[in-house]
Amino acid sequence: MWSLMAALGSYLNMRKSDKKMENQLSVVLTEVCNSALKEFTGFQWLTHLVNYDNFPKSLKVVFVFDTNANLSTFIASNNSIDLSKLVQRKLFKIDINLKDMTKHVAYDTEENCEKNHNGKWSERLV
């Protein structure tokens, strides 16, 4: 609950332009998430991290899979390239042009979070 309150507090203190961009990011990343849920075995959810004082350089999209095995299969099949291209296309639609998506995409698993952070994503994503 604390992390939710901290996130809400951060959102309330954002500049108006940052809130607008955050809302646009949420819309396009939700579209990416819905596509990934249908297409990739084991994909569970995604989130993004950003420091708006260094935007868009600081943007990081984290894709979360259920198990390490499903993530390994996903990466071995080169699906990460297609998913990165999808993110890049969606971001371009809201005027965010990132040339090297590999610097802005990360992958993780529920399995690793449970093992290393007792399932506390707020601690893992810091």
pLDDT score recorded for residue 20 = 92
Residue 82 lies in a domain: yes
82 band by pLDDT with thresholds 50, 70 and 90: very high
Residue 10 lies in a domain: no
Residue 71 lies in a domain: yes
Residue 6 lies in a domain: no
Residue 23 lies in a domain: yes
The residue that leads in pLDDT, 60 or 1, is 60
DSSP codes joined into one string, 55-124: TTTT-EEEEEES-HHHHHHHHHTTHHHHHHHHHHHHHHHTT---S-GGGTEEEEEHHHHHHHHTT-HHHH
Mean pLDDT of the chain: 90
Residue 70 lies in a domain: yes
Kindly state the percentage of the chain with pLDDT values over 90. Answer: 79
Residue 7 lies in a domain: no
User: Which residues constitute the domain of residue 36?
Assistant: 15-124
CATH number assigned to the domain comprising residue 84: 3.30.300.30
59, 33, 73, 66 alpha-carbon torsion, rounded to 10°: 100
pLDDT digits (tens, 9 = 90+) for 1-48: 334 444 444 555 678 888 899 999 999 999 999 999 999 999 999 999
Residue 103 lies in a domain: yes
pLDDT score recorded for residue 98 = 93
- Other C-beta atoms closer than 10 Å to the C-beta of 104 total 22
Average pLDDT of the residues in 46-72: 95
Kindly state the percentage of the chain with pLDDT values over 70. Answer: 90
Q: Looking at the 3D structure of the chain, how many domains does it have?
A: 1
